[in-house]
Chains A and B, each alone.
Chain A
Amino acid sequence: MNLGVNELRRTPGRFAAVSGAVGFIVFLALILAALSDGLYLGSTGAYRSSDADYFVFSAGSDFELSGSTIDQATAEEIASSDEVEAVGRLSSFNATATSNGEELQLTLIGADETTMPSVVIDGTRPQPGELEVLVDGQTARRGVEIGSIIEVTDGPNLIVVGVAEDAGFGFTTAWTSHDVFHEVRSEVRPELEALAGTSQSLGVVSQEGGSPDLTGIDEVEVATVQEAIDALPAAAQQKSTLDAIVYTTFAVAAIVVGLFFALITLEKRSEYAVLKAIGMSSRTLVGAIFVQAIVSSLVGFVVGFGLSRLAGLVIPSDVPALFLAPTAFSLLVITLVMGSLGAIFSFGRVIRIDPASALGGAA
């Protein structure tokens, strides 16, 4: 019979306060983590959604699309390099547009088959030469769905033909073939007409097990997918800021659990003294507190998780919140670790209780 479990079973109300407090902290952390994931994933999909292993930028661009220009000859040279399976162009530009009567800040991405999102969850990919686009799932949830027309300001109308999950790149994201991308960009911004035949970046798919050596190619710099993502200034900063807030909330959770069990230990000094006097070891008592801290934290996590899922139902679709199972699992582990750390504060107090104080009426 575990004393800790028995007490939890018989007096659940006593632990409801700490579970509730941990629950609200977990709720806050899960919402912040969802926003962090949503912002991060919603602004890095251009690099993550395709099969490309590397992205090639022009030298000196610091892996930023806006500062990079790759010409056709370079693209062909890279395509013919050893251990390169396929190469695709990737470019983007921002424009204003309307759809279903609503104004949009549009990020239009031009891509080839290699750099287009590899998984289309609904509809088809845009056909080369056709004024068709594939939209990100978040965009689709905001009402720009298959069949919707995106009217680009000073540009052509584009029809949505497919949806890809997790393919956002900042604003309302739409993918089209690279040639159509160039056509749209030239209409909206005629001064960029001269960039015909170039792209901002190249996505490179390496042969299975291969690792192409592109260092010999002049005037380019090569980034892994993660390096390309890390070079996006807003994405990394937003994520690190929100993650810091999430971890701070968990430090608070540890303090809450620690204070709760410190108070409980103080309140139960006489009970612990008696139990020690009759032969119960400190280890057994500490084990009971540990079990209670873990169970209270677990219940708190379940409460917080439930609240966050409820909140997820009412969060407006234009808020980029993404509730990811791996993030929830990580936060569960952190919750349990923090709960355990909080309980450890009480261990010393329990160990120091003198069993002799049970006699003489002191207890």
Chain B
Amino acid sequence: MNQKALEVKGLTKIYGEGHTAVTAVEGAELSLDSNEFLALLGPSGSGKTTLISMIGALLTPTDGSVLIGGDDLATMSKREQTRFRANRIGFVFQTFNLVPFLTARENLTVMSSISDLSKDEINDRADQLLRDLGLEDRKGNLPEQLSGGERQRVAIGRALVTDPDLILVDEPTASLDTELGTAVVKMLAEEIKGRNKAGIMVTHDLRMVDYTDRTVEIVDGRLEA
């Protein structure tokens, strides 16, 4: 049987208890193959950040399970989840969030201190990714010396450098203009699919869904295909 890159089963998150309880995500079901890039759409407060946080092993669900490459997050301790994130999940955040005092290359190679890959492997992959992302000439620059698009490309490189199974992308165009945002999402799609990874992109920008394989919408905590 073909192993799914991601399987989400009955995923539920309820904040609070009793009559103050708020259901942020309810019974989410989702599966994703490798080489598949999915757009997760939804208005503010719909539960998309909560859902992606649970899928990214950042938030413990109230109920249900998340399996990444067949590994159930619920069976892992907090420490194991941290290690899992370092090796198996790549993150691209909304506002780039690079380490400001590290160069573009160091923002990638910093992962060698937490990844199971060797330092040499990480260094080789970092150099290759920087070439692929058109940043070879900028690898010695600090984030403040890079443009918004370059910074987002470094963030994409950091997400890919540990060769993860799943890439989670949170509103990647929020800090970019339309032209640059489109270019970044296009690049993301190429990198994710070209490297046979699975990817989920949280976005509210309908123009970006053209670069994904399918779209799922979340409304009031419920997923709608």
Give chain A's interface residues, CB within 8 Å of chain B.
Answer: 1, 3, 6-7, 10-11, 270-271, 274-281, 284, 354-356, 358-361, 363
Q: How many angstroms from the CA of A280 to the CA of B91 in the assembled complex?
A: 13
Q: Are B106 and A358 in contact (CB under 8 A)?
A: no
Name which residue of chain A comes closest to B110, CB basis: A1
Q: How many angstroms from the CA of A358 to the CA of B91 in the assembled complex?
A: 10
In this assembly, does B31 line the interface, its C-beta being within 8 Å of a C-beta of chain A?
no
Contact of B113 among A284, A354, A358 (CB under 8 A): A284
Which of chain B's residues have a CB closer than 8 A to the CB of A361? 94-95, 170-171, 174
Q: How many angstroms from the CA of A1 to the CA of B170 in the assembled complex?
A: 28
Q: Are B106 and A280 in contact (CB under 8 A)?
A: no
Selected interface stretch from B97-105, B186-194, B207-215: B97-105
Contact of A359 among B56, B83, B109, B142 (CB under 8 A): B56
Name which residue of chain A comes closest to B86, CB basis: A279
Q: Are A278 and B100 in contact (CB under 8 A)?
A: no
Please judge, given known A-B contacts A1-B106, A279-B83, A361-B171, whether A356 and B93 are in contact too, CB under 8 Å: no
Give chain B's interface residues, CB within 8 Å of chain A.
Answer: 49, 52-53, 56, 58-59, 79, 82-87, 89, 91, 93-95, 97, 99-102, 106, 109-115, 142, 158, 170-171, 174
Q: How many angstroms from the CA of A271 to the CA of B56 in the assembled complex?
A: 18
Which of chain A's residues have a CB closer than 8 A to the CB of B174? 361
Which of chain B's residues have a CB closer than 8 A to the CB of A277? 56, 58, 85, 91, 93
Contact of B58 among A1, A6, A270, A359 (CB under 8 A): A359
Which of chain B's residues have a CB closer than 8 A to the CB of A358? 58, 91, 93, 97
Name which residue of chain A comes closest to B115, CB basis: A279
Q: How many angstroms from the CA of A271 to the CA of B101 in the assembled complex?
A: 11
Name which residue of chain B comes closest to A279, CB basis: B86
Q: Can you give 23 A-B contacts (C-beta < 8 A)? A: A1-B109, A1-B110, A3-B99, A3-B110, A6-B102, A7-B101, A10-B101, A10-B142, A270-B97, A271-B99, A277-B85, A277-B93, A278-B86, A278-B158, A279-B84, A279-B85, A358-B93, A359-B53, A359-B58, A360-B53, A361-B95, A363-B94, A363-B95
Which of chain A's residues have a CB closer than 8 A to the CB of B106? 1, 6
Which of chain B's residues have a CB closer than 8 A to the CB of A6? 101-102, 106
Which of chain A's residues have a CB closer than 8 A to the CB of B85? 277-279
